C-alpha cells in the first residue's frame, strides 16, 4: 500500500495546478476578488488531495488486487455526487462555458479520477 501522506501531497499539488487552469469555468471564481480566489483554489486542492487519499485507502483495503478499478469507479461516483450537491447548495456556480454531463460539470467530475490516477502513478514510480 502506498503512503497516504505522499498521495495527499502529490494530489494536492497536481490538483492546485488543475484548479488554477480550469477555474475560468466557474462563475464563482471569475467574480471572486483575489484573496477569495486564492482561498477557493487552496481549499479545493486540499479537499481533492484528501478525497483522493481516502478513496485510494478504501479502494486498496477492500480490493487490493483491483484497487485501481475500484478507485476509478468510486472517484467518479463521489465527484459526480459532490458536484451535484455543491451546485444545488450554492457552494459554486458554473460559467456558461462549463461543459456539463447529467447536470454536473464534466471537468470536475473527470478531474478527481484523472488527477488521482496521476498522483498514484507518480507516488508509485517516483516516491516508493
Q: Which three cell numbers stand for residue 125?
A: 514510480
Instruction: Judge whether residue 1 has pLDDT over 70.
Output: no
* Each residue's pLDDT tens digit, 107-119: 889 999 999 999 9
Model-level pTM?
Answer: 0.91
Q: Give the total number of structural domains in the chain.
A: 1
Per the structure, the complete domain to which residue 89 belongs is given by 4-126
- Report the alpha-carbon distance of residue 123 to residue 3 in Å, rounded: 8
Phi (first) and psi of residue 6, to 5 degrees: -65, -40
Amino acid at each position: 500500500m502506498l503512503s497516504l501522506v505522499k498521495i495527499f501531497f502529490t494530489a494536492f499539488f497536481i490538483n492546485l495546478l488543475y484548479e488554477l487552469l480550469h477555474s475560468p469555468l466557474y462563475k464563482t471564481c471569475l467574480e471572486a476578488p483575489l484573496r477569495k480566489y486564492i482561498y477557493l483554489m487552496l481549499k479545493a486542492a486540499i479537499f481533492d488531495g484528501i478525497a483522493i487519499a481516502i478513496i485510494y485507502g478504501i479502494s486498496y483495503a477492500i480490493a487490493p488486487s483491483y484497487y485501481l478499478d475500484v478507485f476509478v469507479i468510486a472517484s467518479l461516483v463521489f465527484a459526480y455526487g459532490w458536484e451535484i450537491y455543491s451546485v444545488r447548495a450554492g457552494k459554486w456556480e458554473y460559467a456558461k462555458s462549463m461543459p456539463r454531463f447529467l447536470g454536473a460539470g464534466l471537468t470536475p467530475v473527470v478531474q478527481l479520477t484523472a488527477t488521482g490516477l496521476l498522483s498514484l502513478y507518480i507516488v508509485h514510480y517516483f516516491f516508493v
